């Protein structure tokens, strides 16, 4: 079974190759939001400069939309903070997707 990290790497590679190269007009953006820490102290330091627990793993920006993508393995579950972030995003009218594979991610853009 693939790890979340491997699924996310595959998503990033596929999306960049199909939507983010210099010749793509408009050139889209995809990036990860690292929001994990190794210690409580590091967590507090990161939170002081804006880290938000539960933020989606990926953010995709297109010419007319912003998408929030949470990557999970087929058996992975969202944390309480991730569910709260999803609710905040959707209440603001943005799209939030929970994806468990590259193939599932691709369906968002078909």
Mean of the per-residue pLDDT values for the chain? 94
- 57 pLDDT band, cuts 50/70/90, is very high
Contact 101, 73 (CB under 8 A): no
- Give mean pLDDT, residues 37-61: 89
**DSSP one-letter string for 49-100:** TT--TT--SEEEE-SS-EEEEEE--TT----HHHHHHHHHHHHTT-EEEEES
Tokens of 4: 């979340």
CATH of the domain at 57: 3.40.1350.10
pLDDT for the residue numbered 86: 98
Residue 90 pLDDT > 80, yes or no?
Answer: yes
Task: State the residue range of the domain holding 40.
Answer: 4-107
In the chain, the number of structural domains is 1
Residue 47 phi/psi, 5-degree rounding, is -65, -35
Question: What single DSSP character describes residue 12?
Answer: H
pLDDT for the residue numbered 110: 84
- Give mean pLDDT, residues 88-94: 98
């Amino acid at each position: 079974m693939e790890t979340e990290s491997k699924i996310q790497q595959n998503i990033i590679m596929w999306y960049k190759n199909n939507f983010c190269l210099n010749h793509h007009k408009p050139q889209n953006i995809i990036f990860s939001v690292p929001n994990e820490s190794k210690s409580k102290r590091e967590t507090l330091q990161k939170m002081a400069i804006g880290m938000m627990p539960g933020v989606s793993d990926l953010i995709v920006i297109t010419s007319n939309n912003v998408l929030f993508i949470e990557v999970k393995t087929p058996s992975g579950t969202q944390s309480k903070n991730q569910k709260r972030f999803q609710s905040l995003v959707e209440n603001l009218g943005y799209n939030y997707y929970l994806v468990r594979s590259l193939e599932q991610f691709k369906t968002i853009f078909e």
